[in-house]
Structure 1
Amino acid sequence: MPTPNPAALEFLLTRRSRPAKTLTTPIPDRGAVEKLLTAAARTPDHGKLEPWRFIVLEKPALLRLADLVNTRGTALALDPEQITKAHAQFSNADLAVAVISAPKPSPKVPQIEQVYSAGAVCLSLVNAALATGWGANWLSGWASHDRAFIQEGLGLSADETVAGLIHIGTETSAPPERPRPDLAAITTWVDA
Protein backbone atom coordinates (compact mmCIF):
# COMPACT_ATOMS: atom_id res chain seq x y z
CA MET A 1 0.00 0.00 0.00
CA PRO A 2 1.48 3.40 -0.94
CA THR A 3 2.31 5.98 1.71
CA PRO A 4 0.41 9.15 0.80
CA ASN A 5 1.76 12.68 1.13
CA PRO A 6 -1.47 14.71 1.37
CA ALA A 7 0.32 18.07 1.70
CA ALA A 8 2.31 17.50 -1.50
CA LEU A 9 -0.80 16.38 -3.39
CA GLU A 10 -2.80 19.38 -2.15
CA PHE A 11 0.03 21.68 -3.30
CA LEU A 12 0.01 20.12 -6.78
CA LEU A 13 -3.79 20.28 -7.02
CA THR A 14 -3.84 23.98 -6.09
CA ARG A 15 -0.55 25.33 -7.44
CA ARG A 16 -0.81 28.51 -9.48
CA SER A 17 1.98 30.39 -11.24
CA ARG A 18 2.24 34.08 -10.39
CA PRO A 19 2.35 36.48 -13.35
CA ALA A 20 5.90 37.80 -13.75
CA LYS A 21 4.65 41.38 -13.96
CA THR A 22 3.31 41.06 -10.39
CA LEU A 23 6.64 39.93 -8.91
CA THR A 24 8.90 42.35 -7.07
CA THR A 25 11.58 42.48 -4.39
CA PRO A 26 12.65 41.01 -2.13
CA ILE A 27 14.00 38.12 -4.13
CA PRO A 28 15.61 34.95 -2.78
CA ASP A 29 19.28 35.24 -1.86
CA ARG A 30 21.95 33.05 -3.45
CA GLY A 31 21.58 30.27 -0.88
CA ALA A 32 17.82 30.14 -1.40
CA VAL A 33 18.24 30.13 -5.20
CA GLU A 34 20.75 27.28 -4.94
CA LYS A 35 18.21 25.29 -2.93
CA LEU A 36 15.57 25.90 -5.62
CA LEU A 37 18.02 24.85 -8.34
CA THR A 38 18.87 21.70 -6.36
CA ALA A 39 15.18 20.81 -6.24
CA ALA A 40 14.74 21.54 -9.95
CA ALA A 41 17.73 19.37 -10.86
CA ARG A 42 15.98 16.34 -9.35
CA THR A 43 13.80 16.07 -12.43
CA PRO A 44 13.54 12.87 -14.49
CA ASP A 45 16.72 12.55 -16.56
CA HIS A 46 16.95 9.38 -18.64
CA GLY A 47 20.53 8.20 -18.80
CA LYS A 48 21.67 10.72 -16.16
CA LEU A 49 22.86 13.00 -18.96
CA GLU A 50 21.96 16.31 -17.30
CA PRO A 51 20.88 17.76 -20.67
CA TRP A 52 20.22 21.19 -19.17
CA ARG A 53 21.93 23.91 -17.21
CA PHE A 54 21.05 27.13 -15.40
CA ILE A 55 21.94 30.78 -15.96
CA VAL A 56 20.89 32.91 -12.99
CA LEU A 57 20.08 36.41 -14.21
CA GLU A 58 20.34 39.20 -11.67
CA LYS A 59 19.15 42.78 -12.21
CA PRO A 60 22.20 44.14 -14.13
CA ALA A 61 22.10 41.16 -16.52
CA LEU A 62 18.35 41.56 -17.00
CA LEU A 63 18.79 45.24 -17.89
CA ARG A 64 21.54 44.33 -20.38
CA LEU A 65 19.22 41.77 -21.96
CA ALA A 66 16.39 44.34 -22.11
CA ASP A 67 18.69 46.61 -24.16
CA LEU A 68 19.57 43.69 -26.42
CA VAL A 69 15.84 43.03 -26.94
CA ASN A 70 15.53 46.53 -28.39
CA THR A 71 18.50 46.02 -30.69
CA ARG A 72 17.39 42.59 -31.92
CA GLY A 73 13.72 43.54 -32.22
CA THR A 74 14.63 46.51 -34.39
CA ALA A 75 16.99 44.39 -36.51
CA LEU A 76 14.22 41.84 -37.02
CA ALA A 77 11.73 44.61 -37.90
CA LEU A 78 9.31 43.39 -35.24
CA ASP A 79 6.17 45.24 -34.30
CA PRO A 80 7.00 47.87 -31.64
CA GLU A 81 4.47 46.29 -29.24
CA GLN A 82 6.32 42.97 -29.44
CA ILE A 83 9.58 44.71 -28.65
CA THR A 84 8.07 46.68 -25.76
CA LYS A 85 6.53 43.55 -24.24
CA ALA A 86 9.78 41.57 -24.47
CA HIS A 87 11.79 44.53 -23.15
CA ALA A 88 9.51 44.77 -20.10
CA GLN A 89 9.88 41.05 -19.40
CA PHE A 90 13.58 41.68 -18.73
CA SER A 91 13.68 45.29 -17.51
CA ASN A 92 10.89 44.86 -14.94
CA ALA A 93 12.33 41.66 -13.49
CA ASP A 94 14.58 41.45 -10.46
CA LEU A 95 15.58 37.78 -10.79
CA ALA A 96 15.12 35.15 -13.49
CA VAL A 97 16.70 31.79 -14.15
CA ALA A 98 17.26 30.79 -17.75
CA VAL A 99 16.88 27.02 -18.00
CA ILE A 100 19.05 25.99 -20.93
CA SER A 101 18.27 22.86 -22.90
CA ALA A 102 21.70 21.36 -23.66
CA PRO A 103 21.20 17.92 -25.24
CA LYS A 104 24.10 15.49 -25.06
CA PRO A 105 25.07 12.94 -27.71
CA SER A 106 23.56 9.60 -26.70
CA PRO A 107 22.88 6.39 -28.60
CA LYS A 108 20.23 5.45 -25.99
CA VAL A 109 18.40 8.68 -25.10
CA PRO A 110 16.75 10.51 -28.01
CA GLN A 111 17.25 14.26 -28.14
CA ILE A 112 13.51 14.87 -27.74
CA GLU A 113 13.54 13.10 -24.36
CA GLN A 114 16.40 15.33 -23.29
CA VAL A 115 14.42 18.42 -24.33
CA TYR A 116 11.42 17.15 -22.36
CA SER A 117 13.72 16.77 -19.35
CA ALA A 118 14.68 20.45 -19.64
CA GLY A 119 10.98 21.34 -19.70
CA ALA A 120 10.48 19.25 -16.56
CA VAL A 121 13.28 21.24 -14.92
CA CYS A 122 11.37 24.45 -15.68
CA LEU A 123 8.21 23.18 -14.00
CA SER A 124 10.18 21.78 -11.07
CA LEU A 125 11.86 25.14 -10.56
CA VAL A 126 8.53 26.98 -10.63
CA ASN A 127 7.05 24.48 -8.17
CA ALA A 128 10.07 24.67 -5.85
CA ALA A 129 9.80 28.46 -5.76
CA LEU A 130 6.05 28.33 -5.08
CA ALA A 131 6.50 25.65 -2.41
CA THR A 132 8.96 27.87 -0.55
CA GLY A 133 6.64 30.86 -0.65
CA TRP A 134 8.05 32.81 -3.59
CA GLY A 135 6.05 33.84 -6.61
CA ALA A 136 7.24 32.29 -9.87
CA ASN A 137 6.38 32.28 -13.55
CA TRP A 138 7.70 30.33 -16.56
CA LEU A 139 8.02 32.57 -19.62
CA SER A 140 9.65 32.44 -23.03
CA GLY A 141 8.89 34.86 -25.87
CA TRP A 142 10.44 35.69 -29.22
CA ALA A 143 13.78 36.80 -27.77
CA SER A 144 14.37 33.44 -26.10
CA HIS A 145 14.01 31.77 -29.52
CA ASP A 146 16.12 34.26 -31.47
CA ARG A 147 19.48 32.62 -32.15
CA ALA A 148 21.44 35.90 -32.20
CA PHE A 149 19.85 37.05 -28.93
CA ILE A 150 20.58 33.83 -27.04
CA GLN A 151 24.12 33.55 -28.38
CA GLU A 152 25.06 37.17 -27.72
CA GLY A 153 22.98 37.72 -24.59
CA LEU A 154 23.37 34.37 -22.86
CA GLY A 155 26.44 32.85 -24.51
CA LEU A 156 24.63 29.74 -25.69
CA SER A 157 26.33 27.31 -28.02
CA ALA A 158 24.83 26.38 -31.39
CA ASP A 159 23.16 23.23 -29.98
CA GLU A 160 21.66 24.92 -26.90
CA THR A 161 18.24 26.57 -26.60
CA VAL A 162 16.25 28.32 -23.90
CA ALA A 163 13.70 25.95 -22.37
CA GLY A 164 12.28 28.72 -20.22
CA LEU A 165 12.90 31.90 -18.28
CA ILE A 166 11.73 31.35 -14.72
CA HIS A 167 10.97 34.63 -12.96
CA ILE A 168 11.11 34.48 -9.16
CA GLY A 169 10.23 37.12 -6.59
CA THR A 170 7.72 38.33 -4.06
CA GLU A 171 4.18 38.37 -5.33
CA THR A 172 2.30 41.65 -5.00
CA SER A 173 -1.14 40.10 -5.48
CA ALA A 174 -2.53 36.59 -5.63
CA PRO A 175 -3.84 35.80 -9.10
CA PRO A 176 -7.42 34.64 -9.49
CA GLU A 177 -8.01 30.99 -10.26
CA ARG A 178 -8.25 30.33 -13.98
CA PRO A 179 -10.31 27.73 -15.83
CA ARG A 180 -8.69 24.32 -15.84
CA PRO A 181 -8.90 21.61 -18.52
CA ASP A 182 -11.96 19.39 -18.72
CA LEU A 183 -10.35 16.11 -17.66
CA ALA A 184 -12.98 13.99 -19.40
CA ALA A 185 -12.34 15.79 -22.70
CA ILE A 186 -8.60 15.12 -22.65
CA THR A 187 -8.48 11.61 -21.17
CA THR A 188 -8.89 8.25 -22.87
CA TRP A 189 -9.09 5.11 -20.74
CA VAL A 190 -7.83 1.93 -22.44
CA ASP A 191 -8.64 -1.35 -20.71
CA ALA A 192 -7.93 -3.85 -23.44
Structure 2
Amino acid sequence: MKKHERIALDSLLSRSSTDDLTGPAPKGEELETILSAVMRAPDHGKLRPWRLALIHGDARAKLADRVVASMKRIDPEVPEKKIEKRHHRMSTMPLTIVLGMHLRPDNKIPLIEQELAVGAAGMNLLNAIHAAGYGAVWVSGEITYDPVFAAELGFPAPHALAGFFFVGTPKHEDHEAKRRPVTPYIAEWNGEPVTFEADKD
Protein backbone atom coordinates (compact mmCIF):
# COMPACT_ATOMS: atom_id res chain seq x y z
CA MET A 1 0.00 0.00 0.00
CA LYS A 2 1.38 3.39 -1.00
CA LYS A 3 1.95 6.05 1.66
CA HIS A 4 -0.81 8.39 0.47
CA GLU A 5 -3.23 5.46 0.33
CA ARG A 6 -2.34 4.50 3.91
CA ILE A 7 -2.92 8.08 5.05
CA ALA A 8 -6.34 8.14 3.42
CA LEU A 9 -7.28 4.80 4.98
CA ASP A 10 -6.04 5.87 8.41
CA SER A 11 -8.25 8.94 8.16
CA LEU A 12 -11.30 6.78 7.46
CA LEU A 13 -10.45 4.41 10.30
CA SER A 14 -9.92 7.19 12.84
CA ARG A 15 -13.13 9.17 12.21
CA SER A 16 -15.67 9.38 15.01
CA SER A 17 -18.55 11.68 15.79
CA THR A 18 -18.44 14.42 18.41
CA ASP A 19 -20.66 17.35 19.31
CA ASP A 20 -18.23 18.64 21.94
CA LEU A 21 -17.22 21.43 19.59
CA THR A 22 -15.92 24.97 19.68
CA GLY A 23 -14.69 27.43 17.05
CA PRO A 24 -13.26 27.79 14.61
CA ALA A 25 -15.32 26.00 12.00
CA PRO A 26 -14.10 25.74 8.43
CA LYS A 27 -14.94 28.65 6.17
CA GLY A 28 -14.14 30.18 2.82
CA GLU A 29 -12.16 28.11 0.35
CA GLU A 30 -11.44 25.42 2.93
CA LEU A 31 -15.15 24.92 3.58
CA GLU A 32 -15.93 24.84 -0.13
CA THR A 33 -13.32 22.11 -0.60
CA ILE A 34 -14.84 20.08 2.24
CA LEU A 35 -18.35 20.49 0.85
CA SER A 36 -17.15 19.40 -2.59
CA ALA A 37 -16.75 15.88 -1.22
CA VAL A 38 -20.50 15.36 -1.55
CA MET A 39 -20.12 15.54 -5.32
CA ARG A 40 -18.17 12.26 -5.23
CA ALA A 41 -21.02 10.30 -3.66
CA PRO A 42 -22.40 7.36 -5.68
CA ASP A 43 -25.42 8.67 -7.52
CA HIS A 44 -27.48 6.40 -9.79
CA GLY A 45 -28.91 8.53 -12.57
CA LYS A 46 -26.68 11.50 -11.74
CA LEU A 47 -29.58 13.28 -10.07
CA ARG A 48 -27.35 14.87 -7.40
CA PRO A 49 -30.23 14.86 -4.89
CA TRP A 50 -28.23 16.39 -2.05
CA ARG A 51 -28.55 20.03 -1.01
CA LEU A 52 -26.57 21.82 1.72
CA ALA A 53 -27.81 24.82 3.71
CA LEU A 54 -25.16 26.53 5.87
CA ILE A 55 -26.15 28.13 9.17
CA HIS A 56 -23.78 30.21 11.29
CA GLY A 57 -23.58 33.54 13.08
CA ASP A 58 -26.87 35.25 13.88
CA ALA A 59 -28.83 32.74 11.80
CA ARG A 60 -28.21 30.10 14.48
CA ALA A 61 -30.68 31.75 16.87
CA LYS A 62 -33.30 31.86 14.11
CA LEU A 63 -32.75 28.16 13.44
CA ALA A 64 -33.08 27.38 17.15
CA ASP A 65 -36.40 29.25 17.31
CA ARG A 66 -37.74 27.27 14.32
CA VAL A 67 -36.57 24.06 15.94
CA VAL A 68 -38.47 24.85 19.15
CA ALA A 69 -41.60 25.69 17.13
CA SER A 70 -41.29 22.34 15.37
CA MET A 71 -40.88 20.49 18.65
CA LYS A 72 -44.04 22.08 20.04
CA ARG A 73 -45.92 21.39 16.82
CA ILE A 74 -45.01 17.70 17.04
CA ASP A 75 -45.61 17.43 20.79
CA PRO A 76 -47.49 20.27 22.52
CA GLU A 77 -46.47 18.75 25.86
CA VAL A 78 -42.75 18.52 25.12
CA PRO A 79 -40.80 19.05 28.38
CA GLU A 80 -39.28 22.49 28.88
CA LYS A 81 -35.87 20.99 29.69
CA LYS A 82 -35.79 19.26 26.32
CA ILE A 83 -36.70 22.54 24.60
CA GLU A 84 -33.96 24.43 26.44
CA LYS A 85 -31.35 21.78 25.63
CA ARG A 86 -32.22 21.67 21.93
CA HIS A 87 -32.41 25.47 21.65
CA HIS A 88 -29.01 25.87 23.27
CA ARG A 89 -27.44 23.22 21.07
CA MET A 90 -28.81 24.65 17.84
CA SER A 91 -27.93 28.24 18.70
CA THR A 92 -24.34 27.67 19.82
CA MET A 93 -22.75 25.23 17.36
CA PRO A 94 -19.97 26.94 15.37
CA LEU A 95 -21.48 25.79 12.07
CA THR A 96 -24.57 23.78 11.24
CA ILE A 97 -24.95 22.20 7.82
CA VAL A 98 -28.47 21.13 6.91
CA LEU A 99 -28.45 18.14 4.58
CA GLY A 100 -31.51 18.24 2.37
CA MET A 101 -32.92 15.72 -0.07
CA HIS A 102 -34.03 17.14 -3.42
CA LEU A 103 -36.24 14.23 -4.36
CA ARG A 104 -37.87 13.42 -7.69
CA PRO A 105 -40.69 10.92 -7.02
CA ASP A 106 -41.60 10.64 -10.71
CA ASN A 107 -38.07 9.89 -11.87
CA LYS A 108 -37.16 6.40 -13.08
CA ILE A 109 -34.60 6.22 -10.28
CA PRO A 110 -36.40 4.77 -7.23
CA LEU A 111 -36.79 7.13 -4.28
CA ILE A 112 -34.87 4.78 -2.02
CA GLU A 113 -31.85 5.08 -4.30
CA GLN A 114 -32.12 8.87 -4.32
CA GLU A 115 -32.23 8.85 -0.52
CA LEU A 116 -29.29 6.46 -0.33
CA ALA A 117 -27.30 8.82 -2.54
CA VAL A 118 -27.97 11.63 -0.06
CA GLY A 119 -26.86 9.35 2.76
CA ALA A 120 -23.64 8.58 0.90
CA ALA A 121 -23.09 12.30 0.37
CA GLY A 122 -23.52 12.83 4.11
CA MET A 123 -20.89 10.21 4.89
CA ASN A 124 -18.50 11.80 2.39
CA LEU A 125 -19.09 15.10 4.14
CA LEU A 126 -18.28 13.65 7.57
CA ASN A 127 -15.10 12.07 6.25
CA ALA A 128 -14.01 15.29 4.55
CA ILE A 129 -14.60 17.31 7.73
CA HIS A 130 -12.47 14.84 9.68
CA ALA A 131 -9.72 14.73 7.04
CA ALA A 132 -9.51 18.53 7.21
CA GLY A 133 -8.88 18.39 10.95
CA TYR A 134 -12.31 19.35 12.26
CA GLY A 135 -14.97 17.50 14.21
CA ALA A 136 -18.61 16.86 13.43
CA VAL A 137 -21.70 14.87 14.27
CA TRP A 138 -24.75 14.06 12.13
CA VAL A 139 -28.02 14.39 14.10
CA SER A 140 -31.66 13.96 13.21
CA GLY A 141 -34.57 13.51 15.60
CA GLU A 142 -38.28 14.07 15.17
CA ILE A 143 -37.89 17.59 13.78
CA THR A 144 -36.08 16.16 10.76
CA TYR A 145 -39.35 14.60 9.62
CA ASP A 146 -41.55 17.66 10.19
CA PRO A 147 -42.62 18.78 6.69
CA VAL A 148 -43.50 22.27 7.91
CA PHE A 149 -40.03 22.77 9.37
CA ALA A 150 -38.44 21.33 6.23
CA ALA A 151 -40.35 23.82 4.10
CA GLU A 152 -39.24 26.68 6.34
CA LEU A 153 -35.65 25.70 5.62
CA GLY A 154 -36.26 25.54 1.86
CA PHE A 155 -37.20 21.90 1.37
CA PRO A 156 -40.96 21.74 0.70
CA ALA A 157 -42.49 18.33 -0.06
CA PRO A 158 -41.69 16.13 -1.88
CA HIS A 159 -38.23 17.27 -0.77
CA ALA A 160 -37.16 16.53 2.79
CA LEU A 161 -34.41 16.76 5.38
CA ALA A 162 -31.75 14.12 6.00
CA GLY A 163 -30.38 15.71 9.15
CA PHE A 164 -28.09 18.32 10.62
CA PHE A 165 -24.29 18.35 10.79
CA PHE A 166 -22.74 20.21 13.70
CA VAL A 167 -19.23 21.23 12.68
CA GLY A 168 -16.34 22.85 14.53
CA THR A 169 -13.08 22.16 16.32
CA PRO A 170 -13.16 19.30 18.87
CA LYS A 171 -12.59 20.61 22.39
CA HIS A 172 -10.56 17.51 23.23
CA GLU A 173 -7.93 15.91 21.03
CA ASP A 174 -8.75 12.46 22.37
CA HIS A 175 -12.40 12.58 21.35
CA GLU A 176 -12.10 9.58 19.02
CA ALA A 177 -14.26 6.66 20.07
CA LYS A 178 -12.76 3.20 20.32
CA ARG A 179 -13.27 1.34 17.06
CA ARG A 180 -15.23 -1.91 17.35
CA PRO A 181 -13.94 -4.97 15.47
CA VAL A 182 -15.64 -5.60 12.14
CA THR A 183 -15.50 -9.41 12.28
CA PRO A 184 -18.95 -9.88 13.93
CA TYR A 185 -20.53 -8.00 11.02
CA ILE A 186 -18.98 -10.13 8.25
CA ALA A 187 -20.15 -13.46 6.85
CA GLU A 188 -19.35 -15.41 3.71
CA TRP A 189 -22.33 -16.49 1.63
CA ASN A 190 -22.07 -19.97 0.13
CA GLY A 191 -25.57 -20.60 -1.16
CA GLU A 192 -27.47 -20.50 2.13
CA PRO A 193 -28.70 -17.46 4.08
CA VAL A 194 -25.90 -15.92 6.10
CA THR A 195 -25.93 -15.28 9.84
CA PHE A 196 -23.85 -12.75 11.74
CA GLU A 197 -22.20 -12.98 15.11
CA ALA A 198 -23.37 -9.42 15.82
CA ASP A 199 -27.01 -10.57 15.65
CA LYS A 200 -26.59 -13.23 18.35
CA ASP A 201 -26.50 -10.78 21.27
**TM-score grouping bracket, smaller chain normalisation:** 0.7 to 0.9
Contact 1:145/1:161, CA 8 A, preserved across alignment: yes
Deviates more, 1:87-96 or 1:128-137: 87-96
Residue type of the alignment partner of 1:69: V
> Structure 1: where are the runs of 5+ without partners?
none
Q: SS at 1:169's partner residue?
A: strand
**1:76-120 CA distance string (max 9 Å, x none):** 31222332232123112121111111122321x211011011011
Contact 2:102 2:155 in 1 (8 A): no
What residue in structure 2 maps to residue 146 of structure 1? Answer: 146
SS of equivalent to 2:133: coil
Q: Secondary structure of 1:46's partner?
A: coil
Q: Secondary structure at the match of 1:70?
A: helix
Say if 2:14 and 2:176, in contact at 8 Å, map to a contact too: no
Counterpart amino acid of residue 142 in structure 1: E
Could you tell me how far apart the structure 2 residues matched to 1:16 and 1:72 are? 29
Return 5+ residue gaps in structure 2 as ranges.
192-201
Structure 2 letter corresponding to 1:56: L
Q: 1:73 aligns with which of 71, 74, 79?
A: 71
Alignment of 1:112 onto 2:112? yes
Instruction: Confirm or deny: 8 A CA contact 2:64 2:90 kept in the other structure.
Output: yes
Provide the alpha-carbon RMSD of the alignment: 2.1
Summarize the alignment of residues 92-103 of structure 1 with structure 2, pairs less than 5 Å apart: 92-103=92-103
Deviations 1:139-176 (A, max 9, x none): 11222222222222x02111111112111111111354
Residue deviations 1:52-99 (CA, integer Å, cap 9, x gap)? 111111222221011122233234312223322321231121211111
Q: Go from structure 1 to structure 2 and tell me whether the alpha carbon gap of 1:176 and 1:3 turns closer, same or farther (over 3 Å shift).
A: closer
**2:84: which partner in 1?**
84
Taking structure 1 as the reference length, the TM-score comes to 0.87
Fraction of identical pairs, as percent: 33
Shift of the alpha carbon at 1:3?
A: 6.8
- Residue 189 of structure 1 aligns to a residue in which SS? coil
Output the amino acid matched with 1:85: K
User: So what's the TM-score if we normalise by structure 2?
Assistant: 0.83
1:16 is paired with a residue whose SS is coil
Alignment-mate amino acid for residue 65 of structure 2: D
Distance 1:80 1:162, change over 3 A: same
Distance 1:155 1:69, change over 3 A: same
CA distance in 1 between counterparts of 2:178 and 2:133 reads: 23
| Distance (whole Å) between structure 2 residues aligned to residue 141 and residue 16 of structure 1 | 19
